[in-house]
Structures are given as C-alpha cells and as structure tokens.
Chain A
C-alpha cells in the first residue's frame, strides 16, 4: 500500500479541475425546461455570446449546457436546461443555494464583431432560444452598434415558450421587429400559428448587410436555411449553433466531431459555424 502511494503524482494543472459556484435562483419555465442563475466563487464566468459550459454532478456525470445570458450581465450567468438525459434530469433537482461545479466557458463564440454595423435577423426554434438569448441580450445592451434587428421565434405550443416575460418585452420595444409563431395554437392564443419558415418571407431585409443567426433543432435548419437563401442572404452570413455531445470541451474526446469532410470539432471550432463552413454535412 505504501509503495503504491509513493508512485502517485498529483497533477496541479489538471484539465479536469472545476470552478465552484452557487445557484442564486431557479425557475421551471416549462414542463421540461428549468432556468438557473449561477454565481461563481472566483468571480465572472468570462464568456462571450454563444459559448457553453460543462456542468458536473459528481457521481452522475457531466453535461454541456449553452450559456443563455449575455456577458453584459454581471455578477452571475444563466443556464436553461432541458431534462433530456441522465445528468440533465438530475440537474432539475437542484435548487436555490445548491452548489454547482463548472468547467469552461468553451467554444467559439458568435462572430459578434463581424456583425457590428450590420442588420441582424435572429431565428430561434424551441430550445434554440437559450444560446441565442446570450447574443440577443448582448445586441439589446449594445443596440446602437447594430443596424435593424428582427427576431423570429417559434415553438411547439404557447405553453412551451421559454422566457415568456422577456419575449413579451421584446414585442413592445420600438427598436426591434419581433414575430413569433407556434406549431399548434390554443384557444386563447392570438398570435401566428404555423412553422417558423412561414415568418421569413415577410421579413423586409437587405441581404448584403444582414447576418442571420439561426439556432434550433436539426430539422429546422434545413428548412429555415432554404428560406434564407431564397432571400439571397450570403452563405457566410448565415450563422448557426450546432448541438453535439461535447464530452471534454478540449477538442480531444471525439464525440462532437461534425460528420463533414473537413475537420471540425463542435466544442472548439464551434458550436457556432457559418453555413458555408458546414453545408456539406448531411445533418446540421
């Protein structure tokens, strides 16, 4: 036993060390999505819009989660978690005051600086609003750096809508055009009913100076991108955030590598990509 211990070398600079934090607040947003506001012991998370963190639940495992708050918000950061797998289901049991363990932030952020001075069209489907919100709120807080801003939001039904209060405020602001639609309405729903693609033809845009930022499930990308291309938005102005299972966040473990003739790790080269970078992939 003694000789064994002699051979153990402690690694000070481990790739797997955690940053500790405390949950300041939580809220069930829908039946399956829970929102967390988290403060780290060591200060600001230091992220940029579009990045993600790894959340560790010791004994259960780790899950990559998009950061849904803008870096312009100080003091804490926010995550919206869908109970989809082993770790995320367990995360839903965490409440205010519970300790959390974080690695990150990881990933290539949205190309915010390239977008300065351009019009922005946001297209969010379902949980896609979570990563996109980090950029939407950044744009709101730096509104004059950008041109015209359009937000299109789609979800399954009115009760699946995330950030409902915030969405309502976006609808009232004069400096953004906002539209939302649900796949299936309810009796008291007064908004649009139909797929998100139905909203795109109605948007008035100047394709050469518009960045379209699209986040949603793989099936949505296919149809939304087709509509955007019809509007003559250049492929390199269509920005996506792809979902993969990033297990390490360091471009090593292989799980998140995109099925593509070029070498793209979603965790390091992404999760944000322009459409021209990844268009050869059969499933975005």
Chain B
C-alpha cells in the first residue's frame, strides 16, 4: 500500500491536472442542503463536506437513460451497440457509495455479464473521500461496515487537517500521482491517519440496536410480518427510494422510432419495483399489486436475496432512501421493528 500527500492548498492544481486527462465530476452544492455529482472545472466548485448526493455515482456506471443500440431498417434491420466512451474522474466518493458500486459490480459480473456496465467502469477513474464524522442521522454505514474504505477506488483521500493522505490502490492511480509528483506520506502523516481511524472507532458505532449477524435470521422470519402493512400505509409508491439507492439497478427497455419511421434506438432506463405496473404482465395479472408486497420486496432485495446469492448486504448505509422519502419511511426503523417482532 502506497500513501501520498496532497496539501489542501494544492487541490486545485490536482484537479487541473486531472482535467488535462479527462472530464472531472465531483460533489457540488445544489441548495437546501442538497448535493449532486456534476462536472466541474476547478476545485472551488467542490464541496468536500457533503451529505450523500441526491443520486449516487451509479449514474455514471448505469445512466438513467442509456442508449444501448441504434437500429436501422435497411432491407433487414441492422443494429449497432455502443457506449459513450468518455473517460471520467469521479472525485470525492464516500465509502458508502464505493460499497454500492461494488454491489453493482458483483451483479453485472454475474453471468451473463453486462457489457455496457463493465465497459463504462473501465473508463471511470474513482477517487474516494473518507468521512471523518457522520453526515447526518439517516446514515447507518457502521451497521453494514461501509464506513471504512474497502477497495473499489483508484485513489482514496483522507482529510488529516491541512492536507489529504492519498491511498493509492491501482497502477492508474499510481501513474497519476507520480505524474504530478505528489510526495510520499511521512511517518508523522501516517500516524495522523492512524489517529483519525482510532477516533472513527469512537464515532461510528452500529446505529441500531440490532446485531448485523442476526439480520439474516430476522429476514428468515419476517416475510409475513405486519411491519410491511404499516410501511405500506405510509408509502406513496413514488419510487424515490429505489432511484436514489446506490445498489438498485432494476431497469426497463424502451424502443423509440425516429421521424423517418425506419430507424430508431433502444434505450435502457431505470425502473422501480415500487411502481404498481412493475410486476404486471400483459394479460393484466399483477404479481406484486399490494404496496406492502412491493416495500417488502425492496427491503428483501437489500438484506435477504443478496445475502443468499452473494453473501453480502446490498445496503450501504448511505441513508438516501430514508432521507428522500416524502412519507417518512425510515429503513433503520423498519429493521428495528422487524427485530423486535422476531424478538432478537
């Protein structure tokens, strides 16, 4: 593991050098306490101290609307599949979102692999940023152990006062850091980093009174819980919770025709299991017509199904679903209630 040092006053120089090689996106302020990842041209635009952005950086790996094919009727239909191959640096990604991207990476590497996702991933230069304290009360990153870096980045920055310690995780990262001649971290810098990690142990503690190791057993028994009815009574089926989730990836396919009626495009777009039509078939049968079924499905897709299949939670504790819910549905409360019900 190699560690370098970036003086905070040199952050703009760092960004400018990145911009010479690729587009740079970073968290920027959007007003009313909201932030989003957006293209920047200087370090002044970046907000390093931010509450998780409205949308997670999954939007660069799997855009909300993604053209996957052009088709042309020319005697017979001809298709060409491609992605936008622009190189992008994503600066300032929190550990919860790095963890979310790893979840997506697992899903899209599961056979048959998703070529669109994997090719986009190749073009993304990931620069993580450590949270030294909680963003707000919705977060539950310690519960799912996503408050510390666990890979998934090229470079990872930790704020140690007037400078960042940069952990280099890939050769691409190393090449960039070398190209701008960042000094290596000194023993003193490393002990500062150590101190911050020690401090974090005191700050970041399991946010709910439920042992993570018990969660799989809770979900074994919660399928017919009355909690789902309670949640459904509040839910508006707007789909906000799934859209903002860093590990939600359900999608729909859409064909659009151009004005010549002979050519067009196939689009992949985000969809939500919370929508009433999501599990409906053409004959009219709906296999998840109740809101309670749809909310249960969402939560099972975070804490049960991926545990069975990939041996990890697909919740990163970012808190977005609870933060964005207009009806005040809170994921941490759901977990606590389920745990109470099965008496763990």
A residues contacting B by CB (< 8 A) are 7-11, 13-18, 20, 57-63, 82, 84-88, 99, 101, 217-218, 243-245, 247-248, 250-259, 261-263, 280, 283
Contact = CB atoms under 8 A, between A and B. Distances in A.
B250 to A, nearest CB: 3
Interface string B70-81: 010100110111
Contacts of A10: 80-82
Contact of A85 (B83, B279, B282, B300): B282
Interface residues of B, number: 56
B187 interface: no
Contacts of A57: 255
A99 B285 contact: no
B152 to A, nearest CB: 20
Interface stretch (B9-17, B114-122, B159-167): B114-122
A247 B220 CA distance: 29
A130 B82 CA distance: 36
Interface stretch (B133-141, B194-202, B233-241, B301-309): B301-309
Given A14-B81, A15-B112, A261 B252 contact: no
10 contacts: A8-B84, A9-B119, A11-B83, A16-B79, A58-B73, A243-B281, A252-B114, A252-B249, A259-B287, A283-B285
Given A16-B81, A58-B73, A217-B283, 5 more contacts: A10-B82, A20-B76, A87-B282, A263-B309, A283-B285
B81 A11 contact: yes
Contact of B251 (A61, A245, A252): A252
A154 B252 CA distance: 34
A184 B68 CA distance: 48
Contacts of A250: 112, 114
Interface in B37-80: 68-69, 71, 73, 76-77, 79-80
A255 B271 contact: yes
A254 B85 contact: no
Contacts of A20: 76-77
B288 interface: yes
Contact of A16 (B69, B252, B287): B69
B255 A14 contact: no
A218 B285 contact: yes
B246 to A, nearest CB: 16
Label chain B's interface by main secondary structure: mixed
A58 to B, nearest CB: 5
Nearest to A283: B287
Contacts of A247: 251-253
Contacts of A59: 71, 255-257, 261, 264
B119 A58 contact: no
Given A14-B68, A14-B81, A247-B253, A253 B271 contact: yes
A92 B24 CA distance: 49
B114 A15 contact: yes
Contacts of B86: 7
B229 to A, nearest CB: 14
A247 B252 CA distance: 7
A8 B82 contact: yes
Of A87, A248, A259, A280, which is in contact with the most chain B CB atoms at under 10 Å from its CB? Answer: A259
Interface string B304-338: 11101100000000000000000000000000000
Interface of B: 68-69, 71, 73, 76-77, 79-86, 107-108, 110, 112, 114-116, 119, 219-220, 223, 249-257, 261, 264, 266, 271, 273, 278-283, 285, 287-288, 293, 297, 300, 304-306, 308-309
B287 A261 contact: no
A254 B253 contact: no
Q: Which 10 A-B pairs have the closest CB atoms?
A: A85-B282, A254-B250, A14-B81, A9-B85, A263-B305, A84-B282, A59-B257, A261-B223, A11-B81, A10-B82
Nearest to B221: A261
Contacts of A244: 279, 281, 287
Contacts of A13: 115
Contacts of B73: 58
Nearest to A85: B282
Contact of A245 (B82, B266, B279, B305): B279
Contacts of B283: 82, 84, 217, 243
Nearest to A86: B282
Nearest to A261: B223
Nearest to A219: B285
Given A7-B86, A62-B253, A17 B293 contact: no
Contacts of B69: 14, 16
B119 A11 contact: yes
Contact of A254 (B266, B273, B293): B273
Contacts of A85: 282
B255 A58 contact: yes
Nearest to B123: A9
B38 to A, nearest CB: 19
Contacts of B80: 10
Contact of A261 (B83, B280, B288, B300): B300
B144 to A, nearest CB: 19
A61 B333 CA distance: 41
Nearest to B254: A61
A101 to B, nearest CB: 6
A87 B273 CA distance: 22
B308 to A, nearest CB: 5
Contact of A63 (B282, B305, B306): B282
A110 B10 CA distance: 64
A101 B69 CA distance: 14
Given A253-B250, A263-B308, A16 B68 contact: yes
